[in-house]
Amino acid sequence: MGDRGAAIVTGGARGIGAAVAKALAREFPVAVWDLDAPGAERTAGEIHVGGGRAKGWGVDVGDYDAVQAAAEEVFKTFGAVEALVNNAGVTRDGLFMRMRPEDWDLVLRVNLTGAYNCCKAVVRQMQKAHKGRIVNVTSVVGLTGNVGQANYAASKSGLLGLTKSLA
């Protein structure tokens, strides 16, 4: 691993996020972020067992201030951040006519605003270091739409736009 910067993986407590965190641990120290703090810590523990460096944090990616504070903790723990994987995501499916505003808001807050918050927390440091990688996990639903997933489709389409704009 040497002096590589850390990788942050959001939504890292289980599923795709946990698998990504474990794969990245072969090359990077990993900060595992998830709203489920015990789950994030469990993934970090599994990385330790496999010989990697990791720490789990309970982070609400939809909360700008919480993300900024967590990023500062990662900088203190691991130094620079070299990679960010925005994987955190939720669904609250329902036909548009029946979709509650709070279901719309939650999905956009986690899936799109969360990615913005996380990018904002690390991009300046990456730019100063002249290196860094950001991977935003999106979905084909962001391109095609899907019945009952207006909120999810909008969030993933927005994430595609954010990705292209940052590139």
Identify the three-state secondary structure at position 135: strand
**DSSP notation for 77-114:** HHSSEEEEEE---------GGG--HHHHHHHHIIIIIH
Domain residue limits at 154: 6-166
Say which of 28, 33, 116, 152 is annotated catalytic.
152
127 CB neighbour count, 10 Å cutoff? 10
Whether residue 1 is contained in a domain is answered as no
pLDDT of amino acid 1: 47
Whether residue 68 is contained in a domain is answered as yes
* CATH code: domain of residue 18: 3.40.50.720
pLDDT of amino acid 2: 54
Q: In the chain, how many domains are there? A: 1
Within 8 A by CB and 6+ apart from 31, the residues are 6, 7, 8, 9, 54, 55, 57, 70, 74, 77, 78, 81
Whether residue 94 is contained in a domain is answered as yes
Whether residue 78 is contained in a domain is answered as yes
State which residues of the chain have pLDDT below 70.
Answer: 1-2
64 is an active site residue: no
